[in-house]
Amino acid sequence: MFKASTQKGLAQQGLAQKGLAQKSSAQKTLVDKKNGAWLEKKNISQTLVTVIAVIICFISLFCALSFGAADISFADVWHSVWPNDTDKDVGFIQRIIWELRMPRAILALLAGSGLAISGLILQTVTRNPLADPYLFGISSGASLGVVILIAFTGGIFTVMTPVAAFAGSLVAMLMLMLIAGRRQSQQVESMLLAGVALSFLFSSFTSLLLYHTDPQAVTAVLFWTMGSFSRAQWHNLLFPTVVISACIIFMLAYRRQLNAMLLGDESATTLGIKVNRFRIIMLLLSSLITATLVSMCGGIGFVGLMIPHIVRFFISQGTVFGILLTALVGGIFMIWVDILSRTILVNQELPVGVITAATGSLFFLTLLYFRKNRPS
Amino acid sequence: MSQAPKTSKSALLAAEHLSWCTDGNLILDDISFAVEQGSFTGILGPNGAGKSSLLRCLYRFVKPEQGMVSFEGHDIWQLNANDYAKNVAVVLQETPSHFNLTVHDVVALGLIPHKGIFARANKTDDEKIIQAIAQVGLAHKDQQNFEHLSGGEKQRALIARAIVQSPRLLIMDEPTSHLDVRYQIQIMELAKSLDITVIASFHDLNLASAMCDNLLVLNQGQLVCQGTPAQVLTKETLSEVFGVCAHISEHHQHKVPHISYYYGYIPDEHEHEHGKGEDHV
């Protein structure tokens, strides 16, 4: 009785959502049709963007094979990659391309995608837009692990390198989580602060160790810590390829859960997600990618932070396309960074990390500037 | 003032002797109540009374130290988290985030309990999402950034997510705070129109009075009274629990208690001026 009169009264007053219910039912069919079409169109355009990104990725790879210390024309690259009998002898060029540039370009692609994905994971599960393997101290931890290995075994790079890197990154991650604590509300802020502090701590240990190591090793290690793809060879590409593809597949499978993490731990819990376990698995995954890449090509900053943001400017990160595009854009970016690092100075190679930091920060600041001045 | 807990067999959700403490402070103290299938239950109480904590116990975010919460007679902590999420949807106050999720993405999150990890959203799911967005009147903002919505629109988008979750119980934590009057009524009407069991916490007593079948009043972690709005919203409760002095009349249209506050009086003086006869109990 009382309930009925309540509803009747509200309806009479016209307060019932100001016709929200009626509007929705009357327009439902129309909206359904319109939205359905829109959704299809959106899917097509997203597919198109992804296809274009894949094409750009191939073009970039092709350019990476052509540019370098020895100038090789596009035609020669084409003939080396798809040789046929009538061609003139391209043996020397072919060797440069197949044995030097190709693995290097593929490693750059892997590193870019891996770091971008790693950054995306960190930013999502910690809900911190500034999260990045570099800023969280994970890269520094991995570097320290490698440098400790080098300092104590004397060997430069061995099979144990990725293991040492992963151990280092795990220690960094563990310390990060211990310091940041389990208090959900404070985690986001304290994690970044702790990460930056840890990053400096590990870097100082690395410097200290390097100070006491054989000077010859130091030069190699120093160049490596600033990032370089010069160690790329076919036989050591398999491991990062497997790790990064597996992580991307894992992320695609759990994309909905990742999105739910963005709305907060409580909301995610109410959707049936075991938040703490999920976060730890994702952080481990991120450490694994970072460690693999650090052991291969040293610390490369800014990519993990920047690429997810750049992609996010244009496309919702929550979809399959968002994740794939993040990986692709990261890869493309890194291929071009590698091209720059090989060509910017004559007969010399710049550390990749220097270029990513410079271009990355400039691009990021520009984007932020325009975003800030854009009428919202 | 407090009444004996009514734990009937038809209850969808029931709390029995629920106690929860954090850092040694007793936040919830021996709370028992039952929520009937199809009812709209409001939780009232001053700031810090334990409303949100109680809801957290109900939606399985924190585990009570003592007592239990049961859903259809089963202890919710014995249930699988995912199964519970299929039955119970929760709308919390929006959390700020700087990530570019569209309204569509946010609403699609409601599918999580129903979808395996590799399962793609099929046509039925897409239709479900679009319908839910239309139902809350956000169809035109489908592809907009969730962060760019107004407070009321965010709340509606979250309700659409709950609709997609197709639950039997909807729990809302202060769904109308920060909203203007129009949105408050809109959100409440929307929740009512879903025809499912709803539990929500409120600050606006008049809104709670108009919307709820049952009210629970918490004070300092204890359940001080429960019952229909007419039983619960009395001058005594308001003065004891909220420390305000109010005149309670009948809403001229809905026949539910309507509260008018007195300003600048202390309760005792006021008691003298207005006889008890005016109370609508």
Q: Is A347 on the interface with B (CB under 8 A)?
A: no
- Integer Cα distance of B168 and B13 in angstroms: 10
Q: What is the pLDDT of residue A27?
A: 45
pLDDT per residue as tens digits for the range B62-114: 899 899 899 998 999 999 999 999 999 999 876 666 677 889 989 999 999 99
- The ipTM, to two decimals, is 0.83
| Residue B85 with chain A: CB contacts under 8 Å | 270-272
Question: How close, in Å, is residue A82 to chain B by CA atoms?
Answer: 37
Q: What is the pLDDT of residue B32?
A: 93
Backbone angles phi, psi at B220, to 5 degrees: 50, 45
For residues B102 and B186, membership in a common domain is answered with: yes
A 17-36 residues with CB < 8 A to B: 17-18, 20-21, 23-24, 27-28, 31-32, 34-36
Model confidence, pTM: 0.83
> Which chain A residue lies closest to B53 (C-alpha atoms)?
A266
* B254 contacts A9? CB cut-off 8 A: yes
Please give the DSSP secondary-structure letter assigned to residue A157. S
For residues B84 and B144, membership in a common domain is answered with: yes
CATH of domain A31-358: 1.10.3470.10
Selected residue with higher pLDDT from B244 and A40: B244
* B100, B118, B186: residue with CB nearest A317: B100
Q: Is A375 on the interface with B (CB under 8 A)?
A: no
**Sheet strands side by side (includes B197-201):** B88-91, B169-172, B197-201, B40-44, B214-219, B222-227
In a domain, B4, yes or no: no
Q: What is the pLDDT of residue A187?
A: 63
Tallying the residues shown for chain B, one arrives at 281
For residues B124 and B238, membership in a common domain is answered with: no
* A39, A267, A272: residue with CB nearest B113: A272
pLDDT per residue as tens digits for the range A334-373: 999 999 988 888 778 888 888 888 887 787 788 777 766 5
Residue B257, sorted as left (phi over 0), alpha (psi -120 to 50) or beta, turns out to be: beta
Q: Please say if the pLDDT value at position A21 is more than 90.
A: no
Is residue A38 very low, low, confident or very high in pLDDT (cuts 50, 70, 90)?
low
Q: What is the pLDDT of residue A186?
A: 57
Q: Nearest-CA neighbor of A161 among A99, A220, A246, A249? A: A220
Q: What average pLDDT does the segment A177-204 reach? A: 77
Residue B147: Cβ-neighbour burial (10 angstroms; 0-12, 13-18, 19+):
middle
* B80, B83, B105: residue with CB nearest A318: B105
Q: What is the pLDDT of residue A87?
A: 55
pLDDT per residue as tens digits for the range A295-341: 888 888 888 888 998 888 778 777 788 899 999 999 999 999 999 98
> Which chain B residue lies closest to A275 (C-alpha atoms)?
B61
Selected residue with higher pLDDT from A71 and A199: A199
* Interhelix angle A352-373/A320-343, nearest 10 degrees: 130
For chain A, what is the mean pLDDT? Answer: 80
Q: What average pLDDT does the segment A269-284 reach? A: 90
Question: How close, in Å, is residue B186 to chain A by CA atoms?
Answer: 4
pLDDT per residue as tens digits for the range A257-274: 998 888 888 889 999 999
Q: What average pLDDT does the segment A96-120 reach? A: 91
For residues B211 and B237, membership in a common domain is answered with: no
For residues B238 and B204, membership in a common domain is answered with: no
Q: Please say if the pLDDT value at position A213 is more than 70.
A: yes
| Residue B192 with chain A: CB contacts under 8 Å | 7
For residues B242 and B214, membership in a common domain is answered with: no
Question: What one-letter code names the amino acid at B208?
Answer: A
In a domain, B45, yes or no: yes
H/E stretch holding B75 reads strand B74-75
For residues B23 and B152, membership in a common domain is answered with: yes
For residues B134 and B245, membership in a common domain is answered with: no
CATH of the domain at B95: 3.40.50.300
Question: How close, in Å, is residue A18 to chain B by CA atoms?
Answer: 7
| Residue B189 with chain A: CB contacts under 8 Å | 10, 15-17, 20-21
Which stretches of chain B drop beneath a pLDDT of 50? 1-8, 270, 273-281
Quote the domain boundaries for residue B259. Answer: 233-281
> Which chain B residue lies closest to A15 (C-alpha atoms)?
B185
Q: What is the pLDDT of residue A17?
A: 42
* B118, B148, B193: residue with CB nearest A253: B118
Domain end: B204, B226, B248, which one? B226
* A259 contacts B105? CB cut-off 8 A: yes
Q: What average pLDDT does the segment A211-218 reach? A: 77
For residues B281 and B188, membership in a common domain is answered with: no
| Residue B84 with chain A: CB contacts under 8 Å | 272
* B59 contacts A269? CB cut-off 8 A: yes
For residues B191 and B254, membership in a common domain is answered with: no
Q: Is A266 on the interface with B (CB under 8 A)?
A: yes
Domain end: B226, B245, B268, which one? B226
Is residue A19 very low, low, confident or very high in pLDDT (cuts 50, 70, 90)?
very low
* A269 contacts B97? CB cut-off 8 A: no
Selected residue with higher pLDDT from B80 and A224: B80
Q: Nearest-CA neighbor of B136 among B115, B96, B164, B114? A: B164
The total of structural domains in chain B comes to 2
Cα dihedral A94, A99, A100, A105 sign = positive
Backbone angles phi, psi at B70, to 5 degrees: -120, 140
Pairing of strands B222-227, B74-75: unpaired
Q: Please say if the pLDDT value at position A275 is more than 80.
A: yes
Domain ranges across chain A:
31-358
- Integer Cα distance of A125 and A87 in angstroms: 53
- Integer Cα distance of B117 and A39 in angstroms: 22
Q: Please say if the pLDDT value at position A179 is more than 50.
A: yes
Mutate to test the interface with A, among B77, B84, B87, B97 (most CBs of A within 10 A): B97
* B99 contacts A124? CB cut-off 8 A: yes
For residues B239 and B199, membership in a common domain is answered with: no
* B106, B112, B139: residue with CB nearest A257: B112
Domain end: B203, B226, B249, which one? B226
Tokens of A212: 């006491």
* B101 contacts A262? CB cut-off 8 A: yes
Q: Nearest-CA neighbor of A38 among B203, B140, B224? A: B140
Tokens of A149: 């290995």
For residue A354, count other CB atoms closer than 10 A to its CB: 17
For residues B135 and B271, membership in a common domain is answered with: no
pLDDT per residue as tens digits for the range A231-250: 888 888 999 999 999 999 99
